[in-house]
Amino acid sequence: MKVAVFGTKSYDRQFLEAAAKGTEIQWHFFEPRLTETTVPLAHPFPAICCFVNDMLGGEVLSRLAEGKTRMIAMRCAGYNNVDLAEAKQLGIQVARVPAYSPYAVAEHAVGLILTLNRKYHKAYNRVREGNFSIEGLLGFDLHGKTVGVIGTGKIGQLFAQIMHGFGCHLLAYDVQPAEACTKLGAKYVSLDELFAQSDIISLHCPLLPATKHLIDDDAIAKMKPGVMVINTSRGALINTKAAIEGLKSGRIGYLGIDVYEEEADLFFENKSETVIQDDVFARLMTFPNVLVTGHQAFFTENALEAIAEVTVENLQEFAAGKPLTREVKVD
């Protein structure tokens, strides 16, 4: 079976090729991401393989359905960029990789916390320039701090475990509390209580209509002054303009994000020679207490191996006409 891969990077090619060795899958790698402009490339392919910033809204899906495409294999866990209702209507099946390495993302979230707190990025540059002053690098002990975890699924639970190891008190909020978190000593509380009591808030819930802009002006106003906010989940969980106001007023003391609501036009590409047109993002970059990584939380070799293997399994099920074990459907 021929499968078109959109938004291909060298690492996608490396891991997908290894996982498909000896199978009937023939990859056709396209560098552009899937958009209304690039969708004709998909026409001859019964299945396509997409990622977080491919555009899978109504228009692109109906153009896919005009061609041969009947299956979308997402090589990621999130599927907020897919119009599932439209896909169903058009007879296009969607599968994903629900879990690959939750450790990768949980560990990256902790990395953001440590870097923002102890300012390793600044220390690295200083020392390389022969500046051994530690003025301005003052941090705080994580031990004894209260950490609020929003979304205690696979990643949130692991994150909670690591923070428990640092000696933090854990607060949690989820629509479905997890026993594993309660056993760690986490206390499930209302969102308002979590906002009011946490020194660090980390987001691990999916982007849904109910969670869009979960962190907005109102939420920020309820937080402790100087709070640290970490987002490794999806950009639109945070209203970026509200976060900027929070940073300006000092209510948010630190912001660490691996995802950004308008990341599709920026992330995964080298823009170092380009003038960034996104003024909101540009403003974020001016704060000394903001750390942005470009959606790399998942990016470990363990995760890429697992993603490629499961993506191949999803495509093999489709090729064999079997029910898709990891199909994503409208609720």
Q: Which two tokens stand for residue 324?
A: 């898709």
d(CA 152, CA 69): 35
Binding status of residue 234 toward ligand NAD by CB under 6 A: yes
Which parts of 128-187 interact with ligand NAD (CB under 6 A)? 150-156, 173-176
Q: Which of 298, 311, 326, 328 binds ligand NAD (CB under 6 A)?
A: 298
- Answer for the pair 126, 133: CB distance below 8 angstroms, yes or no: yes
Element (H or E) spanning 222, and its range?
Answer: helix 217-222
Binding status of residue 258 toward ligand NAD by CB under 6 A: yes
The alpha carbon of residue 307 and the mean position of all alpha carbons in its chain are separated, in whole angstroms, by: 14
**Residue nearest ligand NAD by beta-carbon distance:** 153
| Residue 130 beta carbon to ligand NAD: minimum distance, rounded to whole angstroms | 35
Binding status of residue 232 toward ligand NAD by CB under 6 A: yes
Q: Which of 7, 71, 102, 172 binds ligand NAD (CB under 6 A)?
A: 102
Binding status of residue 251 toward ligand NAD by CB under 6 A: no
- Residue 42 or 324: the one with the smaller Cβ distance to ligand NAD is 324
Distance in Å from the first CA to the final CA of the chain? 30
- Residue 45 or 51: the one with the smaller Cβ distance to ligand NAD is 51
Cite the active site residues: 234, 263, 295
Of 11, 81, 20, 15, the closest CA to residue 51 belongs to 81
The single-letter DSSP state of residue 239 is: -
Q: Which of 233, 240, 311, 314 binds ligand NAD (CB under 6 A)?
A: 233
d(CA 92, CA 63): 11
Which parts of 301-320 interact with ligand NAD (CB under 6 A)? none
Binding status of residue 206 toward ligand NAD by CB under 6 A: yes
- Answer for the pair 301, 313: CB distance below 8 angstroms, yes or no: no
What is the DSSP annotation of 131-178? Answer: ----TT------TT-EEEEE--SHHHHHHHHHHHHTT-EEEEE-SS--
- Residue 36 or 218: the one with the smaller Cβ distance to ligand NAD is 218
Binding status of residue 46 toward ligand NAD by CB under 6 A: no
Q: Which of 19, 77, 170, 290 binds ligand NAD (CB under 6 A)?
A: 77
- Answer for the pair 328, 92: CB distance below 8 angstroms, yes or no: no
Of 62, 69, 63, the closest CA to residue 85 belongs to 62
Binding status of residue 33 toward ligand NAD by CB under 6 A: no
Candidate segments 204-212, 215-223, 265-273, 315-323, binder of ligand NAD by CB under 6 A: 204-212
Binding status of residue 105 toward ligand NAD by CB under 6 A: yes
Q: Write out the residues near ligand NAD by the rule CB under 6 A.
A: 77-78, 99, 102, 105, 150-156, 173-176, 204-208, 210-211, 232-234, 258-259, 295, 297-298
